[in-house]
């Protein structure tokens, strides 16, 4: 699942770049030319942006809910690597859990100085990449809409009878 989300995020960058380049080429001032319809509409960029922001929200949710078990802190950290097992004779008494929400981090701090991160390493880069792609695509759609060249309607030819 992690690789799939990261692959989608990485694949979204060239797609967004291609759409931005097409919008730039269409809207740049290049002298007199005949206006034409483009297949790249702002709607495509907005849909790409919404999908990327949705993916970023999923990644962020995965990170935030990691370590949100309905267990005691010592039981939650016992599920992480480098831990004590619940059947050990002497569980740690001074265990602390440190949480950060931007970037997402849930760390089990053991009394002997060991620290274990419960959030997978791919969550923060994938969420950041997808969020940047989503915001960039929506901003490009807004810019593309505001800067789109307006066509001047041609005057109708007089009807000859």
Highest mean pLDDT among 13-22, 76-85, 121-130: 121-130
* pLDDT of res. 127: 92
The tens digit of pLDDT for each residue in 26-83 reads 666 555 555 555 555 788 888 889 999 999 999 998 888 876 655 565 666 766 555 5
Neighbours of 2 (CB within 10 A): 13
Report how far residue 9's alpha carbon sits from residue 129's, in angstroms, rounded to the nearest whole number.
6
pLDDT of residue 43: 84
**Residue 1 pLDDT > 80:** no
Q: Is 0.75 topped by the overall pTM?
A: no
Q: Is 98 a residue whose pLDDT tops 70?
A: yes
pLDDT score recorded for residue 55: 92
Cβ atoms within 10 A of the Cβ of 83, count? 18
All residues at 6 or more sequence positions from 74 whose CB lies less than 8 Å from its CB, including other chains: 84, 91, 92, 95
Tell me which DSSP letter residue 111 carries: T
- What pLDDT is recorded for position 53? 94
């Amino acid at each position: 699942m992690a690789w799939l989300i990261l692959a989608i995020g990485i694949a979204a960058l060239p797609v967004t770049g291609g759409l931005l380049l097409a919008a730039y080429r269409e809207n740049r001032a290049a002298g007199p030319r005949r206006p034409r319809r483009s297949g790249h509409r702002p709607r495509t960029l907005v849909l790409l942006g919404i999908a990327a922001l949705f993916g970023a929200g999923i990644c962020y949710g995965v990170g935030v809910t990691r370590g949100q078990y309905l267990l005691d802190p010592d039981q939650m950290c016992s599920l992480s690597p480098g831990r004590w097992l619940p059947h050990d004779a002497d569980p740690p008494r001074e265990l602390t859990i440190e949480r950060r929400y931007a970037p997402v981090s849930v760390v089990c701090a053991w009394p002997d100085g060991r620290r274990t991160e419960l959030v997978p390493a791919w969550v923060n880069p994938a969420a950041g990449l997808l969020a940047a792609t989503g915001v960039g695509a929506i901003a490009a759609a807004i810019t593309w809409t505001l800067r789109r060249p307006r066509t001047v309607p041609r005057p109708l030819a007089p009807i000859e009878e």
